[in-house]
Structure 1
Amino acid sequence: MLNFSYTGKKEGQDISGIIEALTKPQAIAKLRAQKITVSKINEAKTNGSSGADPEIKTFLGMQLHSDKLSDLDVMMFSKKLETMMKADLPIMDSILLARRQAKKPGMIKLTNSIIEDLNQGRSFSSALEKFPKYFDDSYVNMVKAGESSGTLALFLNKIVNLVEKKLKIIKDIKGALTYPIILLTVALLVTTVMLIKVVPVFEEIYGGLGVELPAATQKVIAMSNFLKNPAQGGLLFISTALIITTLVFLNKRIYAVKKFFHAFSLKIPAFGPLVIKSIYAKLAMVLSNLLNAGVPIIEALEISSRVTNNILVREAIARIQQEILTGKNLSELFGNEKIFPIEFAEFMKVGERTGSVDEMFNSLATYYEAEVDNAVGALKQFIEPVMIVLIGALIAGLLLTLYQPIFNMGSVVK
């Protein structure tokens, strides 16, 4: 596909732009279909480029790389558009330049789709709506607000800040969980190796001595024999996989089970406060930006509820949506929901008195971003000593259990 810059007239008015087509005659035919009388058309060149589109790499007719885009890809795409539009580059030229720079198949296809929609007279926001996986309702609504107010670059800046903050929260949570997961994995591997390799040596020694083994030692030896047996080890693996699969299935299919797990996750020491505070931060960020963009409060609440999958939070927001139609204050409604802390209600009261509810949500977002940072630090401080003690106790317990018969033999000799 090539890009052609054109000038002409439509309904008596001068018009110019860029259109995508395989050949110049096809480009002219497309413009005529849009009722544009072409006076001049040439193949477009961008920054000295040949005008050729970036190609998706294939091997034996198969695409080499996935179409999937990460949150970081979407953020960088938004940041590029914001930078170009701040320099007064039209949206079409900005997308064309983004496509020239695209390397991932998903980004090439995304920009091609947007360019095609823009060429057909659709808005940028409607072009983004085709990709809900990457551009959620809050993103699209903020773009619509930018288009309607003629300040798309400003709203793209808000979007970039919003996405950056969301990514930071996600990164903080992943960073806090990585360390304990690694330690737990190491603990399980060490325990398994000891049961399979070390315990049989002790079993052989005690068998030769003919001593009666304590109950704890017999249980450890039984666990070792269980794991060494291929059939029993396979049974353990299948049973574990079956239990996990069943729990995942029930969590997806049964609402009550899903709600139970969501409530339980918020009560886990150190981890629960981190999760709920990250939800508060993202919720406040989205509400602040949507209200600032002029989105009605009912619609803003509906969109913001999708920043989390937690059922308790979603149910609370749904109740607030219904109750706000009765004329109650937002501060009162947030205050009535136990899932939200008192800070929400207090900040809302100030916002309602001063007529700056969107600014209060922004303040809440800033407040809970700091709280997330504190919660990450608290989780790390909590997890590190707990995991070290747990691993030490596990290994020490195994060793004491294995050496207990020797200690008993010493007491018998005395």
Structure 2
Amino acid sequence: MPTPRSALLDLAARAQLFAHLAAMEKAGVPVERALLSLQLPKRARAALAGLHTQIAAGSNIASAGLRSGLFSQLDGSVLRAAQASGCLATVYQRLAQRYTRQARQAATVKSRLLLPAVVLLLALFIQPLPALVGGQLSIAGYLWGVLAPLLVLSSLYGVGRKLYLRRADATSSRASFLDDWLARLPVFGPALQRRSVRDFFDSLGLMLEAGMPMLEALPKACAVISDAPLRQRFSRVQQAIQHGQSLAEALATLDFPGHGLALGLIRTGEASGTLPASLLNYAKVETQKLDSLTEQLATWIPRLLYVAVMLWVAYGLLTGAGFGPRLPAELG
């Protein structure tokens, strides 16, 4: 059954949900009672009530969470395996940490983009003022000059967000125009590929740690890769393992960011019987690298946007009507 997108939680709320379930599970509180003391955003309360009803009727947490829309497909897969192996508290905690980290990154980027956004909004109101004061614009023209850029920017944001969500939910192995375009971006392209690889190994490690068999976990881990060409390459790993190869051997022929480090850790994990921990360690190392890059981008991109907006405002004020000397119309 497809997960209803309207009921899905944001990253911070998901972190809160799994942290609460982890604490209650460790305390020995049944999940049905644990849900009664959980506070979620208003838009998710109906879904939470549905989850509680299904649990009370005898459904398991993974299936009920998926049907209610509170869990993603990956959440449900990992929790099903955790239920079978009896390590729900550990997996709850892992998911809480994962979503907490993602929510913190998203909040950092948003907070640092706030100042450029405010400056841009002020600029849209200030930039046409010289023409209004100089009689070049009517009130209606001024309002249109302010609202038109806002409508364009809002439309661009909506289209971009829709394309991003569509790409993230894509299951096709064929590369789209968006995939090709993003891959060519100088900094973002490699970073997006590295993030996709990190998500694959992180998800695979979580599912294996929860007790899911390798051949069952691999296609689910591949599904979280948002980059279609990478998803196609990693889909071959399952066939190689079915033919008797180890995970390290199956990955040795693939080209992906962090290839050398991943193979070293996976070989060590397979030899010592700690493969899930090795996969999660690799994902942790990649997360630290991505966090460092995100921190740098979150620092410099708002500064560059701020400078661009200020230059645009200065240009408009210096060249717009009402500022600077002007010849009379009969002498112009």
TM-score by length of 2: 0.71
Q: 2:157 matched to 1:157?
A: no
Aligned equivalent of 2:221: 304
> Per-residue displacement from partner, 1:18-38 (whole Å, max 9, x unpaired)?
xxxxxxxxxxxxxxxxxxxxx
Q: Answer yes or no: is the 8 Å Cα contact 2:35–2:52 preserved in 1.
A: yes
Q: CA deviation at 1:198?
A: 1.4
Point out where structure 1 has 5 or more consecutive residues left out of the alignment.
1-65, 205-223, 410-414
Distance 1:355 1:395, change over 3 A: same
1:244 and 1:381 map into 2 onto residues whose CA distance is 21
Q: Answer yes or no: is the 8 Å Cα contact 2:24–2:31 preserved in 1.
A: no
Aligned residues: CA RMSD: 4.3
More strand by share: 1
Alignment equivalent of 2:101, drawn from 144, 151, 168:
168
Q: Using the aligned pairs only, state the percent identity.
A: 17
Distance 1:134 1:183, change over 3 A: same
> Per-residue displacement from partner, 1:284-324 (whole Å, max 9, x unpaired)?
22211212233222321211233343334422322333344
Q: Answer yes or no: is the 8 Å Cα contact 1:99–1:112 preserved in 2.
A: no
Q: CA deviation at 1:393?
A: 2.2
2:72 and 2:301 map into 1 onto residues whose CA distance is 34
Aligned equivalent of 1:109: 50
2:180 and 2:110 map into 1 onto residues whose CA distance is 19
**Tell me, what secondary structure is at the counterpart of 1:107?**
helix
Alignment equivalent of 2:129, drawn from 175, 197, 209:
197
Q: CA deviation at 1:113?
A: 1.0
1:192 and 1:396 map into 2 onto residues whose CA distance is 12
Q: Answer yes or no: is the 8 Å Cα contact 2:14–2:99 preserved in 1.
A: no
2:174 and 2:117 map into 1 onto residues whose CA distance is 26
**Alignment map for 1:3-22 (pairs within 5 Å):** none
**Alignment map for 1:263-282 (pairs within 5 Å):** 263-265=180-182, 267-268=184-185, 271-272=188-189, 275-282=192-199
Q: CA deviation at 1:176?
A: 1.8
1:161 alignment partner AA: R
**Tell me, what secondary structure is at the counterpart of 2:223?**
helix
Worse-matched range after superposition: 308-317 or 363-372 = 308-317
Distance 1:358 1:249, change over 3 A: closer
Q: Answer yes or no: is the 8 Å Cα contact 1:270–1:379 preserved in 2.
A: no
**Tell me, what secondary structure is at the counterpart of 2:293?**
helix
2:109 alignment partner AA: A
**Alignment map for 1:113-152 (pairs within 5 Å):** 113-117=54-58, 123-131=60-68, 133-149=69-85, 152=86
Give the greater-gyration-radius structure (CA): 1
2:28 and 2:32 map into 1 onto residues whose CA distance is 14
Q: CA deviation at 1:172?
A: 0.3
2:103 and 2:22 map into 1 onto residues whose CA distance is 23
Distance 1:248 1:100, change over 3 A: closer
**Alignment map for 1:35-74 (pairs within 5 Å):** 69-74=9-14
**Tell me, what secondary structure is at the counterpart of 1:307?**
coil
Q: CA deviation at 1:111?
A: 1.1
**Tell me, what secondary structure is at the counterpart of 1:134?**
coil
Q: CA deviation at 1:114?
A: 0.8
Point out where structure 2 has 5 or more consecutive residues left out of the alignment.
1-5, 40-44, 328-332
Q: Answer yes or no: is the 8 Å Cα contact 1:69–1:106 preserved in 2.
A: no
Aligned equivalent of 1:369: 287
Q: Answer yes or no: is the 8 Å Cα contact 2:127–2:317 preserved in 1.
A: no
1:271 and 1:167 map into 2 onto residues whose CA distance is 23
Q: CA deviation at 1:379?
A: 0.8
Aligned equivalent of 1:13: none
**Alignment map for 1:253-402 (pairs within 5 Å):** 259-265=176-182, 267-268=184-185, 271-272=188-189, 275-342=192-259, 343-402=261-320
Q: 2:119 matched to 1:186?
A: yes
Aligned equivalent of 2:32: 96
1:309 alignment partner AA: S
Aligned equivalent of 2:26: 86
Q: Answer yes or no: is the 8 Å Cα contact 2:11–2:99 preserved in 1.
A: no
Q: Answer yes or no: is the 8 Å Cα contact 1:320–1:333 preserved in 2.
A: yes
Q: Answer yes or no: is the 8 Å Cα contact 1:351–1:358 preserved in 2.
A: yes
1:82 and 1:260 map into 2 onto residues whose CA distance is 41
TM-score by length of 1: 0.59
Q: Answer yes or no: is the 8 Å Cα contact 1:142–1:155 preserved in 2.
A: no
By relative contact order (CA 8 Å, sep 6+), the higher-ranking structure is 2
1:297 alignment partner AA: M
2:149 and 2:57 map into 1 onto residues whose CA distance is 55
Distance 1:350 1:327, change over 3 A: same
Distance 1:136 1:395, change over 3 A: closer
Size of the aligned set, in residue pairs, is: 312
Q: CA deviation at 1:158?
A: 2.5
2:54 alignment partner AA: S
Runs of 4+ in 1 over 6 A off after TM superposition: 229-251, 253-258
1:99 and 1:242 map into 2 onto residues whose CA distance is 39
Q: Answer yes or no: is the 8 Å Cα contact 1:102–1:108 preserved in 2.
A: no
Distance 1:85 1:349, change over 3 A: closer
